[in-house]
Amino acid sequence: MLKAWHFSSHTSFEFGARSRDYGYVPKSVADFNAWFGPVLKATEMYAISRESFALPLRTILGKKFRGLWTRGAMYDDLERVCRFIRNMGFWREGWIGVKETLRFEM
């Protein structure tokens, strides 16, 4: 649910009598934010918990950070999530995601 870019495949999905596509692709920033806003809120809620799935969720969020930052301009939401997670301790994947974003997108 956090995949924010590269909505394509090198494989053709056209086979049989029914046409296939790649699924939902947001057409505008508003569409992007309408999808990813609630997803990011849910991710935040679970990523800052002490549950066993919180660490893998934070890892996924760190890896998807650049796409969310670049495509949706969700700066305030991402900053808030990063601050909450940072308060729990060092977040290696988030640090890498931010560093990668600064290197390639700024």
pLDDT digits (tens, 9 = 90+) for 28-51: 888 888 888 898 999 999 999 989
- 2, pLDDT greater than 80: no
Whether residue 22 is contained in a domain is answered as no
Tell me whether residue 62 is in a domain.
yes
In a domain, 69, yes or no: yes
In a domain, 5, yes or no: no
Number of compact structural domains in the chain = 1
**Residues of the domain holding 77:** 29-105
pTM, two decimal places: 0.75
- CB-based burial of residue 89 (10 Å sphere; 0-12 exposed, 13-18 middle, 19+ buried)? exposed
Cα–Cα distance between 33 and 21 in angstroms, integer?
Answer: 22
CA–CA distance, 60 with 86 (Å, rounded to integer): 15
At 66-85, the pLDDT tens digits run: 988 887 778 899 999 999 99
In a domain, 19, yes or no: no
Burial string for 11-23 (b: 16+ CB within 10 Å, else e) reads eeeeeeeeeeeee
